[in-house]
């Protein structure tokens, strides 16, 4: 006979196989339950549940693998987008510096008054400054 499984009622392993009084039976010393030896290890419900559990574990492992792959893929995409964001941030900083640089050149020549007039004057002044530099 195969090795006896733990008690089907309390899970205990303090069991013994038949003696003179308990012929062809197995008894648990913890809960005093006893069964015929042939039935002690026969647990169709437990075996069916174990088979379902094994199937679910395999399905879970597959799912877990897919989730991990997808997580890694998304993390790579997030990293790419973060890099792109940094590039745009640096470009914006460069443009901002350039605008401040241009304003520092044209502001003194702008004077006061209508904003459009100021801008026109400023642009003209900037070109004149540019002409003076090239000449
Ligand atoms: Zn028991």
Distance 83 CA to ligand 1 centre (A): 63
Distance 57 CA to ligand 1 centre (A): 28
Tell me the mean pLDDT per 10 residues along the chain, length 135. Answer: 83 87 88 91 89 97 98 98 97 90 70 65 76 62
Other Cβ atoms less than 10 A from the Cβ of 16: the count is 13
Structure tokens that stand for 103 in this block? 């304003």
Domain ranges of the chain: 1-42
Q: What's the pLDDT score for residue 72?
A: 98
Q: What's the pLDDT score for residue 32?
A: 93
Please list all protein residues whose beta carbon sits less than 5 angstroms from ligand 1, which is an ion. 7, 9-10, 12, 28, 30-31
CB 119 within 8 A of CB 107: no
């Amino acid at each position: 006979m195969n090795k006896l499984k733990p008690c089907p009622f309390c899970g205990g392993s303090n069991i013994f196989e038949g003696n003179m009084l308990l012929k062809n039976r197995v008894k648990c010393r913890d809960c005093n339950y006893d069964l015929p030896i042939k039935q002690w290890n026969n647990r169709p419900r437990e075996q069916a549940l174990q088979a379902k559990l094994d199937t679910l574990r395999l399905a879970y492992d597959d799912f877990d693998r897919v989730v991990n792959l997808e997580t890694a893929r998304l993390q790579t995409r997030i990293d790419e987008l973060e890099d792109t964001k940094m590039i745009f941030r640096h470009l914006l900083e460069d443009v901002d510096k350039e605008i401040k640089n241009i304003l520092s050149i044209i502001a003194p020549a702008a004077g006061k008054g209508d904003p459009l007039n100021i801008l026109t004057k400023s642009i003209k002044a900037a070109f004149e400054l540019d002409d003076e530099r090239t000449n």
